[in-house]
């Protein structure tokens, strides 16, 4: 199988440019509300897929251990600078299509604003199902192609692609929007049962964000998020699902992404696979399991 292309954030100042200076207070605030509603109050080990610079990590309050995974080493360096070193955080540079973890070692996982960059989304969701224990919780955010703006643009002839068709749309290279039904079907086919859906970012419109106070937009979005149970017309949708397949939670161990051997000891040092001999560096507090 050829390796899917990766939307590489290496060297990007995404956190600063997009979130801190990009006028995204509204989006950040309403995503925080959705996460608060969906996250379990407590848990053992949470995997954050596509963690970036750790914008959401402090929100995973009830978890004993959090593994931040991102393909970009520099994003993880920023996350580490922000969150620090502690037994609670593990920083792992790796590909979401080839997760370096033994089966069933997490009891929760999140993937926020990351599926958006995955050309082969279902393949990544399959990987999540392999590392998540039975009854593990998965919170997935995806960019919704069947949103109100896209529907209006389509029926007025301003947009060519059909928001109602099931296939994902790549509107900019390696930026994908998905049909909610496609996401639900991928989740179910990979051993998840869907618990809850929230519609998020109802008012992601420049004019409104500039002229209506943040607390009002935030309050209105918060009041409307539950409608995700009935329809999903917002640009962002959060889905909470439970993994109903797989084994009970196992002790944490890495897995060689090259040959599949596990367990590899989670030592804070370079890790060599005893089967294929591949060496995975550990430097400045970050494990590097990327296959280049
Ligand atoms: C838009 S950012 C979102 C970061 C964070 N979740 C947030 O919401 O602030 C997407 C992240 O996904 C990471 N990413 C993209 N493709 C990936 C892949 N195949 N494996 C692991 N991470 C990937 C990028 O490096 C980037 O940091």
- Per cent of the chain over pLDDT 70 is 100
Mean pLDDT across 90-96: 98
pLDDT per residue over 212-241, tens digit each?
999 999 999 999 999 999 999 999 999 999
Q: What's the domain count of the chain? A: 1
C-alpha 256 to ligand 1 mean position (Å):
21
Q: Is residue 2 part of a domain?
A: no
Residue 138: which of 110, 118, 178, 99 has the closest Cα?
Answer: 110
Residue 185 has pLDDT above 70, yes or no: yes
Q: Is residue 188 part of a domain?
A: yes
Q: What is the pLDDT of residue 1?
A: 60
Atom of ligand 1 nearest to the CA of 111: 6
Q: Is residue 6 part of a domain?
A: no
Q: Is residue 8 part of a domain?
A: no
Residue 101 belongs to domain spanning: 14-288
Mutate to test the pocket of ligand 1, among 24, 46, 114 (most ligand atoms within 8 A of CB): 114
State the burial class of residue 25 (Cβ atoms within 10 Å of its Cβ: 0-12, 13-18, 19+).
middle
Assign 42 to helix, strand or coil: coil
Mutate to test the pocket of ligand 1, among 3, 18, 52, 66 (most ligand atoms within 8 A of CB): 52
Mean pLDDT across 190-209: 97
Residue 104 has pLDDT above 70, yes or no: yes
**Residue having the nearest C-alpha atom to atom 26 of ligand 1:** 52
Average pLDDT, the chain: 97
Q: Is residue 4 part of a domain?
A: no
CATH of residue 169: 3.40.50.150
Residue 210 has pLDDT above 70, yes or no: yes
pLDDT per residue over 43-71, tens digit each?
999 999 999 999 999 999 999 999 999 99
C-alpha 155 to ligand 1 mean position (Å):
32
State the burial class of residue 242 (Cβ atoms within 10 Å of its Cβ: 0-12, 13-18, 19+).
middle
Mean pLDDT across 92-119: 98
Half-sphere exposure of 287 (CA within 13 A, CB side): 28
Q: Is residue 180 part of a domain?
A: yes
**pLDDT interval class at 292 (50, 70, 90):** confident
């Amino acid at each position: 199988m050829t390796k899917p292309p990766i939307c590489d954030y290496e060297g990007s100042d995404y956190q600063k440019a997009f979130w801190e200076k990009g006028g995204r207070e509204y989006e950040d605030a309403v995503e925080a509300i959705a996460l608060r509603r969906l996250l379990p109050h407590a848990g053992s080990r949470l995997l954050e897929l596509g963690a970036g610079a750790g914008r959401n990590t402090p929100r995973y309050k009830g978890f004993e251990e959090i593994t931040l995974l991102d393909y970009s080493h520099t994003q993880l360096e920023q996350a580490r600078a922000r969150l620090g070193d502690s037994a609670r955080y593990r920083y792992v540079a790796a590909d979401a299509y080839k997760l370096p973890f033994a089966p069933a070692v997490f009891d929760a996982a999140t993937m926020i604003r990351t599926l958006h960059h995955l050309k082969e989304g279902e393949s990544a969701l399959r990987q999540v199902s392999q590392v998540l224990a039975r009854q593990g919780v998965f919170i997935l955010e995806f960019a919704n192609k069947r949103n109100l703006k896209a529907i209006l643009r389509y029926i007025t002839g301003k947009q060519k692609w059909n928001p109602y068709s099931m296939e994902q749309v790549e509107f900019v290279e390696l930026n994908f929007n998905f049909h909610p039904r496609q996401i639900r079907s991928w989740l179910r086919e990979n051993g998840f049962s869907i618990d809850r859906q929230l519609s998020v970012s109802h008012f992601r419109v420049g004019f409104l964000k500039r002229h209506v106070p943040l607390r009002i937009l935030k309050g209105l979005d918060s009041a409307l998020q539950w409608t995700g149970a009935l329809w999903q017309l917002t640009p962002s949708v959060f889905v909470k699902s439970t993994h109903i397949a797989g084994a009970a939670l196992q002790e944490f161990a890495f897995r060689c992404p090259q040959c599949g051997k596990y367990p590899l000891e989670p030592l804070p040092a370079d890790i060599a696979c005893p089967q294929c001999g591949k060496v995975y560096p550990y430097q400045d507090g970050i494990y590097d399991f990327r296959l280049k």
